[in-house]
């Protein structure tokens, strides 16, 4: 019985020995965490504010300016905010470059204005560039895109101005037409505001029409340089329809189907061509 007790004690001691060894191996000569001297551990311990700042910056980037969504302008704005490299410097540098190398300078100037969201100045810069490089199809397409975007902006403003005109003279829709309407006349209390609103809508309509017509010209240039580009033909049809030029829009769609006879939307395109060729605009300016 005594021998069995001794043997049991020896087995228990042997079983406890590996666990003790493992605890000893996990120890550190200096005590505590063996990684405490590593650089990133120190940074995490002593510069938690930096991690917080980076978290806020990236959160703002993803939510506010499109970082991570393929938007290169978002990254540019992020770097601008952090390091103070303003887009005005890019415009200034490009203007200096125009004096030395007009072709490269105007190209850089257009890019700088686009980054600023200054569509009108970007259009002017691209027009100056294309006066020197008339066969640059990609830039003709880029110019057409800016002009089409500008036309859409004017169209939105035009629609808003129309609403403002109705608010300025709420009695106008109820006035009779013809001779009777002329005899009754407008309410004098609304005349001034109504005339100002009407003048603004007229100006915006002209600006929208002019922008769409310019986009048509630009896409025509791009299509002439690359006649088998379905992208340019689609955009030409869109710009022409917005400009009210149904014949050009229909012709662009016909060329599109000639280049791409098995287009998935062929039946719809054929219907659109028929509508555009019927004399009645299928798409109103800005539609």
Do 61 and 77 touch, CB atoms closer than 8 A? no
Domain 146-168+193-287, CATH: 1.25.40
Give the contacts of 3 (CB within 8 A, at least 6 positions apart): none
Highest mean pLDDT among 17-21, 49-53, 188-192: 188-192
**pLDDT at 148 (0 to 100):** 96
**Domain segments of the chain: what residues?**
41-85, 86-133, 146-168+193-287
Q: What are phi and psi of 222, to 5 degrees?
A: -65, -40
Q: Is the pLDDT of residue 255 over 90?
A: yes
Q: Identify the CA nearest to 125 among candidates 108, 141, 138, 140.
A: 108
**Do 241 and 233 contact (CB within 8 A), yes or no?**
no
Q: What percent of the chain has pLDDT over 90?
A: 51
Q: Which helix (H) or strand (E) holds 172?
A: none
Count the neighbouring beta carbons within 10 Å of the beta carbon of residue 245.
Answer: 20
Question: Is the whole-model pTM more than 0.75?
Answer: no
Token code pair at residue 261: 């006879």
Q: pLDDT tens, 132-187?
A: 999 999 999 999 999 999 999 999 999 988 887 777 665 555 444 554 444 444 55
Q: Which residue has the tokens 């769609």?
A: 253
d(CA 273, CA 261): 14
């Amino acid at each position: 019985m005594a021998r069995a007790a001794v043997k049991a004690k020896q087995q228990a001691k042997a079983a406890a020995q590996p666990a003790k060894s493992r605890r000893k191996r996990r120890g550190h000569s200096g005590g505590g965490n063996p990684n405490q001297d590593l650089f990133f551990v120190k940074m995490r311990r002593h510069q938690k504010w930096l991690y917080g700042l980076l978290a806020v910056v990236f959160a703002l980037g993803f939510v506010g300016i499109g970082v991570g969504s393929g938007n290169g302008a978002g990254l540019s704005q992020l770097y601008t905010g952090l390091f103070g490299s303003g887009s005005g410097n890019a415009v200034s540098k490009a203007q200096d470059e125009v004096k030395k190398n007009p072709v490269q300078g105007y190209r850089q100037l257009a890019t700088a204005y686009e980054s600023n969201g200054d569509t009108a100045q970007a259009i002017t810069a691209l027009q100056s560039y294309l006066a020197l490089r008339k066969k640059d199809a990609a830039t003709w397409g880029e110019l057409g895109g800016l002009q089409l975007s500008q036309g859409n902006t004017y169209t939105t403003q035009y629609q808003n101005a129309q609403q403002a005109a109705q608010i300025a003279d709420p009695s106008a829709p109820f006035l009779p037409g013809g001779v009777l309407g002329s005899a009754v006349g407008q309410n004098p209390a609304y005349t001034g505001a109504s005339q100002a609103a009407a003048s603004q809508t007229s100006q915006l309509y002209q600006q929208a029409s002019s922008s769409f017509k310019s986009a048509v010209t630009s896409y025509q240039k791009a299509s002439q340089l690359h006649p088998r580009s379905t992208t340019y033909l689609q955009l030409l049809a869109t710009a022409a329809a917005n400009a009210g030029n149904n014949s050009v829009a229909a012709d662009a769609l016909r060329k599109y189907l000639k280049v791409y006879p098995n287009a998935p939307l062929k039946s719809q395109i054929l219907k659109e061509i028929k509508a555009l060729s019927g004399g009645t605009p299928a798409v109103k300016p800005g539609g």
